[in-house]
Amino acid sequence: MRAGKYEVKAKGHGSSFMPMSVTLSEDKITDIVVDSRGETKGVADEVFKRLPKEIVDNQTLNVDAVSGATISSHGVLDGVAQAINEAGGDAEEWKNRAKPVIKKAADEEITTDIAVVGAGGAGLAAAARSLQHGKKVVIAEKFPQFGGNTARAGGPMNAAEPDWQKNFKALAGEKETLEKLAETPIEKIDPEYRDDFKDLQKQIQQYINSDAEYLFDSNLLHEIQTYLGGKRVDLKGNEIHGKYELVKELVDNALDSVKWLTDLGVKFDRDQVTMPVGALWRRGHKPVEPMGYAFIHILGDWVKAHGATVLMQTSVKHLLVEDGQVTGFVAEKDDGSKVTVHAKAVILASGGFGANTPMVQKYNTYWAKIDDNIATTNSPAITGDGIELGLEAKAKLFGMGFIQLMPVSDPKTGELFTGLQTPPENFIMVNQKGERFVNEFAERDTLAKAAIDNGGLFYLIADDKIKATAYNTTQESIDAQVKAGTLFRANTLEDLAKQISMDPAVLTETIKKYNSYVDQGEDPEFGKSAFSLKCEVAPFYATPRKPAIHHTMGGLLIDTKARVLNENGRVIPGLFAAGEVAGGIHAGNRLGGNSLADIFTFGRIAANTACSEQNASDATSGASEH
């Protein structure tokens, strides 16, 4: 090869391309530097640490992709191959060289107080809280890096904080939304929620009568929206809604979770209140750092610094159960060695099963059809492992047939943050004809069903001002996506329509009508319930979107203390669950922004319960010895 430094670009996890610098001698790769600044933090970090070193150390391109980051792994390998070919070498020969040999470690046994399965947000929250209680903690994560689905989350976390929200002006349409909610006939409210709903009606009436212009919120509004937002009927006529005591536990403790995370070092942007798609209300606490990485790296660094034993690339295969009590688990490392963990409590925090399409198809009773090739927003790690572990201990399942589709996903990859993803008050969703077809402020399943009824593929239309409200998007990323053909841009709506094969007259008329609705603060066509910006400042953008599997609503039934229950409704001693692996809270449809509130709230609760039960048991045994 011609020795030198070669500058190449490789496809990354998102729609961006990663600049890479590959240094070659005549017969060796001596250095690989990847500029991953355009990548989503926390999703493929391990790729950029591990693959360059493996390639250089072993002088081969025949190395395995990093689990959970296949696209970025292949991007690095393709970039190095490109450099080799540019230098006159033969990249295919490098790809056919011997693969590095992984040596199997000795089997091991570990004894601890708390064993956590999964190192996403719920697992790390449970681990951190257990460490704060002075317990020994073991975390098992089957992938090579922390994060799970939390690393892919948009970032806003729901928690009602009225004193803070009063600093923000109400959007056009929000008061009308409250009035409409308050007019819901009481017979449509399930009995256990009726007293709270009546109290909420009084709160809303007092707010309306005051002529206040600020953003209203309360725990009761969060509770009733979570309940009604999740109340659904499946294809078999089965009605489901969130269990009152679990929903109340969530909304009453969500703000404490925000404060707890703040104490650990997460910085929240107090200058804006926001909401993700399908949240129904602006109560999102958004971290300053981008997306879910803001939580993962703070919690991950904290548990490592405070003495947790971390087992990466370790898949939990079976629970240890003695006389009905869960006493640990048996796991397998990626080298094939076995790890047996003996623990006083096991907290399952392994996520749902959204990346396991056959499992989704097996349980689904909500959608007429789940295609074999449907995309998912999930990490590849989210395959239902915790559900299967819970069943070993005779756990009861709740709501497994209800699957949430994320309506605004990348048509090819299922990713959320390609294109221009903006807050729903700025969404303009048009079908392939260029017509609006839904209230863009609605729940996720409503949006997904409407999209499917309109052929699946649709577009989010934005202008230059709306572009400025997009999540985690740089101008460099926008330009790269336009060049790649995954985002469309034009100086006129007519030209934009032509690029996406629409009738220009239809699209321009659609946007003209939408802008008039923003002016009047009312949408007579679809009843959109909150507006912010008009679409009128060039350049204009169109982001293609299509529903993808996002959240599996059902899971292991838990009580308010995050204890897993069996078929008879009794607590399974020693077994706890938090996050998407648990069922009973969100029921048939989850509000956007409630998952982060859920994982950090019930992750903490699981740890609090497990630790307090251990302390009580230790005190009892100590007293009996005396």
CA distance 138 to 600: 18
User: Any bridge partners for residue 116, and if so which?
Assistant: 139, 347
The DSSP bridge pattern shows strands 284-285 and 429-430 to be unpaired
Token output for 31:
């250095």
Q: Is residue 540 a contact partner of residue 546, using CB atoms and an 8 Å limit? A: no
Q: Is residue 405 a contact partner of residue 367, using CB atoms and an 8 Å limit? A: yes
Task: Tell me the residue type at 447.
Answer: L
316 SS3 class: strand
Compute the CA torsion angle 141, 146, 151, 157 (nearest 10 deg).
Answer: 90
| Full DSSP string of 17-59 | EEEEEEEE-SS-EEEEEE--TTSPTTTSHHHHHHHHHHHHHHT
Those residues with Cβ within 8 angstroms of residue 609's Cβ, 6 or more apart along the chain or in another chain: 561, 562, 563, 576
| Full DSSP string of 151-173 | GGS---EE---HHHHTTSBPPBT
User: Any bridge partners for residue 274, and if so which?
Assistant: 284
What stretch of H or E contains 230?
helix 219-230
User: Any bridge partners for residue 493, and if so which?
Assistant: none
Those residues with Cβ within 8 angstroms of residue 339's Cβ, 6 or more apart along the chain or in another chain: 107, 108, 109, 110, 140, 311, 314, 330, 331, 332, 333
Planar angle of CA 214, 215, 218, nearest 5 degrees: 125
Token output for 385:
């492992």
Catalytic residues: 444
Nearest Cα neighbor of 354 from 564, 122, 547 is 547
* DSSP code, position 574: E
Those residues with Cβ within 8 angstroms of residue 621's Cβ, 6 or more apart along the chain or in another chain: none
CA distance 455 to 466: 25
Q: Is residue 539 a contact partner of residue 464, using CB atoms and an 8 Å limit? A: yes
* Residue matched to tokens 């329509």: 497
Token output for 310:
């971390």
Q: Is residue 566 a contact partner of residue 600, using CB atoms and an 8 Å limit? A: no
CA distance 236 to 366: 8
The DSSP bridge pattern shows strands 157-158 and 137-141 to be unpaired
* DSSP code, position 98: P
Q: What is the CB-side half-sphere exposure of residue 610 using CA atoms within 13 A?
A: 40
Question: E strands, 300-415, where?
Answer: 309-312, 314-322, 325-333, 338-348, 397-398, 403-409
